[in-house]
Every structure is written in structure tokens, then in C-alpha cells.
Amino acid sequence: MTSEPLKVAVTGAAGQIGYSLLFRLASGALGDRPIELRLLEIEPALKSLEGVVMELDDCAFPTLAGVEIGADAEKIFDGVNLALLVGARPRGPGMERGDLLSANGAIFTAQGKALNAVAADDVRIGVTGNPANTNALIAMTNAPDIPRERFSALTRLDHNRAISQLAAKTGAKVTDIKKMTIWGNHSATQYPDLFHAEVNGQNAAEAVGDQAWLENDFIPTVAKRGAAIIEARGSSSAASAASATIDAARDWLHGSAADDWVSMAVVSHGEYDVPEGLISSFPVTTSGGDWSIVEGLEIDEFSRARIDASTAELADERNAVTELGLI
Ligand SMILES: NC(=O)c1ccc[n+]([C@@H]2O[C@H](COP(=O)([O-])OP(=O)(O)OC[C@H]3O[C@@H](n4cnc5c(N)ncnc54)[C@H](O)[C@@H]3O)[C@@H](O)[C@H]2O)c1
Ligand SMILES: O=C(O)C[C@H](O)C(=O)O
């Protein structure tokens, strides 16, 4: 195994999510391999980022091999093995994530181009900044030399939220819950699926045995959790988003558990009739740095309608960013 540091870029590093994410990355959340952080920010935020770097230094983390900061994407992304694209404006109260398309889309055009030019051959790119799926699509389209399968958008937070809600409902431990799936967009149309999930080996929908709860409580609670947090905190989820960003990156690099799968928004090749080329959330397993969509699940009418609604929204977002000239 190489002891060369893993070069990890984080954008928006001086933001809320960055303030949690950087310390977890630096303290070994991705494993024992030393890590070199490459932190990208806009010029006005660099001073604040310098303060965060002082704090990173002060932690004396054994796994932190170096930190570089800057506002030039081509310098910061040079040779990176993992790029976590967090930097983007968050939504405020009353906004939908799709409202951020034009505000944030341009960031991902430029960053996709920069990654295409200078990232390491083995780069993996995880997009957390909203609207995450379509931002990942923009970055992917602007990076034609990087395989499309190296891009993903974060739906792991939704996945974790769904596990937590189901555990609370059934009295099970979160570790007793397997095979959770989030389908579609990281938005209010997402579909958290209990029909393929398991609680202690039992089908989750059967274990719950309460279709009204599933439809009127579970699905909307998970899908609208981001808005509930904005309403309560006055700003969007940060520590939980950082934690999910790490869960997703760790499983992508090191592999998912043998008896389980995870949710990742990845490029569709037409699986489950999701239109080709969209970045949509699927059940995936990961191994050796690659993901594969779990195939062969039976999709009933209830699930079909919800997957179709969310992927229709993704197709609309793709049309919108095409019209904006971003892809
Ligand atoms: N996918 C998810 O599950 C999920 C969860 C929570 C938040 N988010 C999203 O993550 C994003 C960041 O959230 P936050 O709370 O950290 O926001 P924040 O406003 O606290 O931080 C964003 C940071 O990005 C920086 N930035 C802006 N443009 C940039 C650019 N071109 N290059 C580099 N940095 C840039 C800003 O200066 C700022 O420091 C938002 O879009 C938010 O909606 C996604
Ligand atoms: O909801 C938001 O805008 C923030 C984030 O995407 C979340 O799900 O918490």
C-alpha cells in the first residue's frame, strides 16, 4: 500500500460544511493513509480560511500531511485524487434547491474544466453543493476526459436520514437497517424506498406495516428534512452534511459492506428506466474505487411513479442548464 498522501480537494472550505468536514478528513475519517488537503475558496474568504488552517495546525493531526489554500482552481486541483465540491451558495428559508441552479451552476462549469485539466488520473469527484445532482452533471459535462463514472452527487445524507427515521419508528438500531435506497434527485421529489430496505433481515415496509405512515410521514419527513433544518437553525445542515460527505467518500474509496448497499447519485446508463446521462440516486455497491448499480430490483407502481417524478425533475433541470449554456 502506498504511503503517498491522498490529495483531497475541498471547495468552499471556509464555509459551514467545511468547518466540520476538514477536521474529520484531517483526523483520519478516510483511513490511516496520510492526507494532503487542497482547499479552494473565493478570494474574499481566504483570510477566514487562513484561520481555519491555523486551527488544523493546532490539532497536530498525525494523518494530516499538508494543507494548501488558494482561489485558483487549476492550482488547487493539481494532482488531486479526490475532489469534494462543497462550495456553492446554500438556499435560504422558502427556497427550493432548484432555485440555486443559475447562482451555482457557473461554479461547476469552471471547476469541471479545471479538474479535467489537472486532476490525477484516478480522481473521484463528489458534489455536495446544491443543486447537487445537476451541479455534478455540469462538472461531468465540462470534464470530457474524466470517465463519467468518476462523478457523483451526495444523497448519502438523505440515506442516513431515512435510516434514522426508520430506526426510530421500528425501535431497531441503525445498524439493524440495511439496503436503504434513495432514488432520484436530492430534492423534495426524492424517493426514499422502504420496499427494498430491511430491518433485522425483514422487509422494512412489512416490518412497519403502516402504509399511511410510509406515505404521509416517512417520505415527506426525509424529503423535506433539509428545509426543516433551515427553518429551525436559520441555516442549512452542516455537520450532518459533512458526515454524509465523508461516509460517501469512504465507501467509494474503500468499498461498501458485503451485506448492504448505499445510495449515491451517479450517471444513469438507463438503469431502472432513468433517462441516460442524468445524475440520479440509485442503490449502489462499491468496491475497489468503483460503484455499480444494484440491478434486478422489482419496482412496483407506487415506487415507479415516485422515481419517474423525481427523474422528470432532473430532466427539467438538465434542460434549464442547457438553456443557460452551462452544458
Ligand atoms: N447534498 C447535500 O446533502 C447538502 C447538504 C447540506 C448542504 N448542501 C449544500 O452545500 C453547499 C455549501 O453549504 P454551506 O452550508 O457550507 O454553505 P456556506 O455558505 O457556509 O459555504 C459555502 C462556501 O463556498 C464558498 N464558495 C462560493 N463560491 C465558490 C467557488 N467558486 N469556489 C470555491 N468556493 C466557493 C463560499 O465562499 C463559502 O465559504 C450549499 O450549496 C448547500 O446547499 C448540500
Ligand atoms: O436542504 C438544503 O438546502 C440543504 C441540504 O441540501 C440538506 O438536505 O440539508
Closest atom of ligand 2 relative to the 240 alpha carbon: 9
Closest atom of ligand 2 relative to the 158 alpha carbon: 8
Q: Which helix (H) or strand (E) holds 304?
A: helix 301-323
Query: Model confidence over 281-296: pLDDT tens digits?
Result: 999 999 999 999 999 9
Percent of the chain at pLDDT > 70 equals 99
pLDDT at 183: 99
Q: Is the pLDDT of residue 257 over 80?
A: yes
Average confidence score pLDDT of the chain:
97
Q: Which three cell numbers stand for residue 236?
A: 442549512
- Preceding amide of 283 cis, omega within 30: no
Cα 297 to Cα 96, 223, 314: the distances in Å are 30, 22, 22
Query: What is the dotted CATH code of the domain comprising 156-317?
Result: 3.90.110.10
Q: Which three cell numbers stand for residue 228?
A: 426543516
DSSP assignment of 160-225: HHHHHHHHHHHT--GGGEE--EEEB-SSTT-EEE-SS-EETTEEHHHHH--HHHIIIIIHHHHHTH
User: Which of 89, 97, 224 for mutating ligand 2's site (highest number of atoms within 8 Å of CB)?
Assistant: 97
Percent of the chain at pLDDT > 90 equals 94
Query: Model confidence over 92-132: pLDDT tens digits?
Result: 888 888 788 988 989 999 999 999 999 999 999 999 999 99
Q: How confident is the model at residue 2 (pLDDT cuts 50, 70, 90)?
A: low
Please indicate if the annotation marks 305 as binding a ligand. Answer: no
Residue 276 CA, ligand 2 centroid: distance in Å: 26
pLDDT at 293: 98
Name the DSSP letter for residue 326.
Answer: -
Tell me the mean pLDDT in the region 261-281: 98
Residue 13 CA, ligand 1 centroid: distance in Å: 8
> Which ligand lies nearest the alpha carbon of 92?
2
pLDDT at 91: 83
- Residue 125 CB-half CA count within 13 A: 35
Lowest-confidence region among 42-56, 66-80, 82-96, 246-260: 82-96
Distance CA 305, CA 184 (A): 11
Distance CA 192, CA 263 (A): 10
Would you list the domain boundaries of the chain?
6-153, 156-317
DSSP assignment of 18-46: HHHHHHHHHTTTT-SS-EEEEEE--GGGH
Q: Is the pLDDT of residue 1 over 80?
A: no
Catalytic residues: 186
pLDDT at 97: 82
Query: Model confidence over 185-243: pLDDT tens digits?
Result: 999 999 999 999 999 999 999 999 999 999 999 999 999 999 999 999 999 999 999 99
Length of the chain: 327
Residue 154 CA, ligand 1 centroid: distance in Å: 13
Q: Which three cell numbers stand for residue 324?
A: 443557460
- In this structure, which topology does domain 6-153 adopt according to CATH? Rossmann fold (3.40.50)
User: Which of 237, 240, 243 for mutating ligand 2's site (highest number of atoms within 8 Å of CB)?
Assistant: 237
Q: Which amino acid is at 324?
A: L
Please indicate if the annotation marks 14 as binding a ligand. Answer: yes
| pTM (predicted TM-score) | 0.98
Residues whose beta carbon lies within 6 Å of some atom of ligand 1: 11-12, 14-18, 40-42, 45, 86-91, 107, 128-130, 132, 154, 157, 186, 236-238, 241
